[in-house]
Structure 1
């Protein structure tokens, strides 16, 4: 995974027993020592996030959010309710359920660092081991001090998640986006703000996936849960004028698709994002794969606003692109053993 803002790029790979992180310079060349953070549980049992300076990794697991230093030392841990829905135990360790068949496929939450690395936002299954919230709350959204794990604020996420991911505001560390997946039931989208005392949560929608935040933090890229509509919104959730695209009418069917097949209509992938403040990279790979090579699209929201198919000079595999900002995005190579970084030819 390639992440981070321009000037603070990180290449990270989650192995089963560790998270390996390499800092990169602006030319994507390795800089400094590679960091290996031991993982407290296997990769299939949770998600992870890494601080912008790679000094700390946070693992969001089935029963706890744990912050681990490169030395392997646990800096702090916040325990919470078990993500396996039928379980009401407050586990104290992973070993308690590691071999239990009923815990093989738990649901899950996530964690994310603020842009400056000072805060960790964590989406957890309630309740916490200390303190009280609304007893009807199923999922909680926490704001934690990254240094010591101190709970700064908490709120009811208003969801019953199967999974989630965080997207930070690139400039303001007191704002964070949370995209929640509830399987077939929906996709709640939340935007959090902290004023130094309390957390305010905007319930933007119940059926949207948050894919990207623009470099300024003022624009959000979303895809509808059923993948038919892609849109650019302000941080309160309102669609900006004219910046909404229905896949069925915005992009043509795959050239090899059966013309009379109703299932051949394109749909947007849950991937892509802002490669700069006004340009999007997006894809229809999932709906294209039955007919042939998947397609990527660039959209200039300040110009024609029409999706333009990206033509690559070499095969890029079947994955959607990952927006990097600074005019760049990346894809996996066709073999899957390398990441390729791209920029649009503006000529």
Structure 2
């Protein structure tokens, strides 16, 4: 499985590979030519990157040359409330694109499109039953499917599973509209969600989605009047997940705490000091290490001491 990930820094899509501890240096840099992007991804062979703006998905090479462009037509006249998403498949052969067409004024619902990574040609697409503001792709370790979490604001969150077949994009919608996808287990056999109202965390089997375990907020010693489960965290290792709880002090200051949890039985193993700047500044990597950001937004890898 490719461990390449990207950050958008100083007008460029920067590729990183977490092979060392401490501050990470880019292994490839792709200049985008724009100051802001909605999403970005790098191919596992480091030969190309894609980024999404509100109007297009663009593929660029390491020489900053544009290789292809997929226009989100018709061009939207809405300035806010719609953020497209893009991600390479695990093998780098396709680019998955979430189109928030409803909020962009392009149609009654959103669309999910799969492009050929080499040419930008459409290989499959499907209409969704959502009117989302944005989405996030989660690639399964098998490489055979991708999950998409579509955020519909106060209306909740919808999770889809998609697979590219000879017939096009095969679509499955999970039977909830109130759970936010957080992370896959390292072996891909489970996944973690947080309730949209931030009242609990749950663990599901894959691909079915059956709930194996659910932990309410009070399992962490917090009350719903002053705290909530954040849409953050994930699998630190196969047998340990990080769950984030946050809130606001009487003085209006944000606070957050991370907790280690055994996902097999729900045992809260204790607090976890990730060294994070805020509730969403932690990305467990599944191998006992995790990422946070330095003051400039650059990734720093840390490993728990044994």
TM-score in same-fold range (> 0.5): yes
Deviation (angstroms), 1:239: 3.3
Using CA pairs under 8 Å that are at least 6 residues apart, name the structure with larger relative contact order, 1 or 2: 2
1:250 is aligned to 2:243: no
- Please give the alpha-carbon distance, in whole angstroms, between the structure 2 residues aligned to 1:334 and 1:79: 34
- Please give the alpha-carbon distance, in whole angstroms, between the structure 2 residues aligned to 1:251 and 1:334: 29
Deviation (angstroms), 1:26: 5.0
1:120-173 Cα offsets, whole Å, 9 max, x none, are 11101459xxxxxxx96521101112121121111112211111111111222x
- Please give the alpha-carbon distance, in whole angstroms, between the structure 2 residues aligned to 1:212 and 1:17: 28
Please state whether the residue corresponding to 1:268 is helix, strand or coil.
strand
Deviation (angstroms), 1:308: 2.7
Q: Which residue of 1 aligns with 2:241?
A: 280
Q: Which residue of 2 aligns with 1:14?
A: 8
8 Å contact 1:298–1:309 — kept in the other structure?
Answer: yes
Deviates more, 1:290-299 or 1:215-224: 290-299
8 Å contact 1:83–1:125 — kept in the other structure?
Answer: no
- Please give the alpha-carbon distance, in whole angstroms, between the structure 1 residues aligned to 2:24 and 2:40: 22
1:51 is aligned to 2:43: yes
1:200 is aligned to 2:170: yes
- Please give the alpha-carbon distance, in whole angstroms, between the structure 1 residues aligned to 2:108 and 2:302: 42
Q: Let me know the Cα RMSD of the aligned residues.
A: 3.0
Which has more strand, going by share of residues? 2
Which protein has the larger Cα radius of gyration, Structure 1 or Structure 2?
Answer: 1
Q: Which residue of 1 aligns with 2:150?
A: 180
Deviation (angstroms), 1:269: 0.8
Please state whether the residue corresponding to 1:188 is helix, strand or coil.
strand
Q: Which residue of 1 aligns with 2:31?
A: 38
Which of 66, 91, 113 is the aligned partner of 1:116?
91
8 Å contact 1:294–1:318 — kept in the other structure?
Answer: yes
8 Å contact 1:208–1:225 — kept in the other structure?
Answer: yes
Length-normalised TM-score, structure 1:
0.76
Q: Aligned pair in 2 of structure 1 residues 230, 344: CA closer, same or farther (>3 Å)?
A: farther
Q: Aligned pair in 2 of structure 1 residues 305, 53: CA closer, same or farther (>3 Å)?
A: same
- Please give the alpha-carbon distance, in whole angstroms, between the structure 1 residues aligned to 2:249 and 2:296: 19
1:220 is aligned to 2:205: no
Q: Aligned pair in 2 of structure 1 residues 196, 307: CA closer, same or farther (>3 Å)?
A: farther
Q: Which residue of 2 aligns with 1:93?
A: none
Deviation (angstroms), 1:15: 2.8
Deviation (angstroms), 1:28: 6.3
Deviates more, 1:137-146 or 1:45-54: 45-54
8 Å contact 1:118–1:147 — kept in the other structure?
Answer: yes
Q: Which residue of 1 aligns with 2:277?
A: 317
- Please give the alpha-carbon distance, in whole angstroms, between the structure 1 residues aligned to 2:267 and 2:39: 35
8 Å contact 1:283–1:297 — kept in the other structure?
Answer: yes
- Please give the alpha-carbon distance, in whole angstroms, between the structure 1 residues aligned to 2:73 and 2:170: 23
1:190 is aligned to 2:160: yes
Deviation (angstroms), 1:11: 6.0
- Please give the alpha-carbon distance, in whole angstroms, between the structure 2 residues aligned to 1:61 and 1:293: 32
Deviation (angstroms), 1:344: 6.7
Question: Which segments of 5 or more consecutive residues in structure 2 lack a partner in the other structure?
Answer: none
8 Å contact 2:257–2:279 — kept in the other structure?
Answer: no
1:238-291 Cα offsets, whole Å, 9 max, x none, are 3343x11111x211128xxxxxxx621x31111111123332111113467957
- Please give the alpha-carbon distance, in whole angstroms, between the structure 2 residues aligned to 1:227 and 1:69: 40
Please state whether the residue corresponding to 1:294 is helix, strand or coil.
strand
